[in-house]
Structure 1
Amino acid sequence: MSAGAFVQTEIAGLPRRLFRASPSRLLAWVDCPRRYRLQYLDRPSPPARGQRAHTSVGVAVHNALRDWWDLVPAERTPQAGAELVRTSWIDVGFRDGDQSLEWRARAQQHVTAYLTQVDPAAQPLGIERTVSLKTESLALQGRIDRLDERPEGLAVVDYKTSRVVPTDDDARTSLPLALYAAAAWKMFRRRCVRVELHHLPSGSVAVHEHTVDSLKRKIAEAESIASDARRAEEDYAEHGVDSGRFPANVGPLCQWCDFRAHCPAGQRVGPEKSGWAALETPVASGRGDLRD
């Protein structure tokens, strides 16, 4: 694939404004239009619930793995990673201090074990790297946890800390990973088809090798989602909260939703999950990318 394959084509006359979004915003629309409206469109924005414990764990681990690469190579030891977890720890959402300390120790163990398998001298091309991609209708921007240089090309690496172990099929079907690969290919002008999910609790790596055609299909999927969201946003601009294009997608995820307090339909789906529930029970299946 040429580097220009993803470049926006010129059209006659005044081009329509590109729809700007991140992969997480696109998937928010797919998961629940009502949450999409509450999160991205309503002004003033309704307050979201406080951060949950599994998010605190995930953010601390991601930050530690990011900062580990800022150390000089000689200091990039597994023990240094554990110390970075300690200094990055976010004590929010837990049942109590004892639970927070327990999970901090777990996170340190996971990071230590993971880093024993990482070559400290193999500096990645990007850490928490922002990438962008434009098509005829969509301007996409997102952030890659890690972008590796491999002999066969670039590889997108995404860290996972949830209780659910990702599979190769999860890597294959992930819309964000495919879009990151396409954006990296365009920006760095180097082949990028490999996507990986690195699950720290289990030490497993889920892998998929895209093709040019599969990346194009994922881009088309993103454009289709963006088209639906654009039409809804245009209706919202005219009708506001009275727009009928933002129904609640009622289901198990309503018990975890950060905007549940503002959605009567979601409130009828069982009791709200506690801030630490995901540490004990995996979050219900959804397409959104939960950093946990």
Structure 2
Amino acid sequence: MLVRTVYLVQQLGFDSMPRKLIKVTPSRLGVWNDCRRRFRMTYVDRPTPPRGGPWAHSTLGAVVHNALKALFDLPVSRRDPDAAAALVSTHWKDDGFADPKQAAEFRDRAAGWVHDYVKDTDVSDDPVGLERWVSAPVGTIVAEGRVDRIDQRAGELVIVDYKTGRHALTTDDARGSQALALYVLAARRTLRRPCTRVELHHLPTGTVAAWDHTDESLARHLTRAEEAADEFQLAIDTHKAGGDPEVLFPPNPGRQCSWCDFRRNCPEGQAAGPTIDPWAMLSP
């Protein structure tokens, strides 16, 4: 596939064009690695094909993120567990849930997560950034994205990512997260401070999975990001020059097709698995 794409680009003369930095976000990389057709529908096709409706687990995650952001906007004296739990109700939406009863159950569950998180976490220091956009040229890409929280501890930045999924996370998850590694690289340049530590804060279990990056581990993540960026930019440029989108952006059918936002526009995805309910990915 890539060999054929490179051949097309050489024939079209792109190999002689000056190289420019490619903007890369973790979501863009994730979609490219997951399914190239979904990448095309998300980032290339204009107008964007119609998406599916809201997912309950996404609503749940967004509410928790918004509540914690709002908590740090309060004066330190008001950052207590009860205030944090109340902010869940303030930001709550029923989007994607089966009915008001199910939505209320998960609203209460989320409020409990946030309450316990604030009870067990020192929230007296103001973060360096909340939902902070970071963007910086690194290698052959511009690494950018929105970080849930950036702390400063002992003179160094710490990247904090909130998680609300079904399963507790491990050190391997923190170490292997390309998103967190790119945030480290971008935060270093954007905020001009040292940064090596990344943390995954899993609200349902109250656990923290952490990793301290080295220059070598960051370089490995950067190399993989650069390779993926080269691939998707090559495909985009070739498509703009008349390349076949079905060749450049093939589908990757699998179980993930059941919750793809573009399922209705993809026959291969529809054949790969059944449609699931918008609340199916909530924890039991």
Give TM-score scaled by structure 1 length: 0.88
Equivalent pair of 2:143/2:183 in contact (CA under 8 Å) = no
Structure 2 residue matching 1:239: 3-state secondary structure: coil
The residue aligned with 2:176 is 173
Residues 29-178 of structure 1: matches in 2 within 5 Å? 29-151=32-154, 153-178=156-181
User: For this pair of structures, how many residues does the alignment match?
Assistant: 269
> Partners in 2 of 1:110 and 1:250 — Cα distance?
35
**Identity value in percent:** 46
Q: Which runs of 4+ in 1 moved over 6 A?
A: none
RMSD in angstroms over aligned alpha carbons?
A: 1.6
- 8 Å contact from structure 2 (residues 144, 182) kept in 1: no
1:241 CA displacement: 6.0
Q: Which amino acid aligns with 1:170?
A: D
Which of residues 268, 273, 278 in structure 1 aligns to 2:271?
A: 268
Kept in 2, the 8 Å contact 1:235–1:243? The answer is no
Letter aligned with residue 92 of structure 1: D
Larger relative helix fraction: 2
Counterparts of 1:220 and 1:177, CA distance in 2: 14
Query: In structure 2, what residue type is equivalent to 1:271?
Result: P
Mapped contact 1:236–1:243 kept (Cα < 8 A): no
SS in 1 for 2:241: helix
Please, which runs of 5 or more residues in structure 1 have no aligned partner?
1-13, 282-292
- 1:5 aligns with none
Query: Residue in 2 aligned with 1:25?
Result: 28
**1:133: how far off?**
2.0
Gaps of 5+ in 2: 1-16
**Offset, 1:117:** 1.8
1:206 is paired with a residue of what secondary structure? strand
Does the 8 A contact of 2:165 with 2:283 survive in 1? no
260-269 or 185-194, larger mean C-alpha shift: 185-194
Q: After alignment, is 214-223 or 52-61 more displaced?
A: 214-223
Q: Distance in 2 between matches of 1:134 and 1:231?
A: 19
CA distance in 2, matches of 1:263, 1:235: 22
**Structure 2 length as normaliser, TM-score?**
0.91
Tell which deviates more after alignment, 47-56 or 186-195. 186-195
Q: Which amino acid aligns with 1:145?
A: D
Equivalent of 1:238, from 241, 266, 272?
A: 241
CA distance in 1, matches of 2:100, 2:243: 43
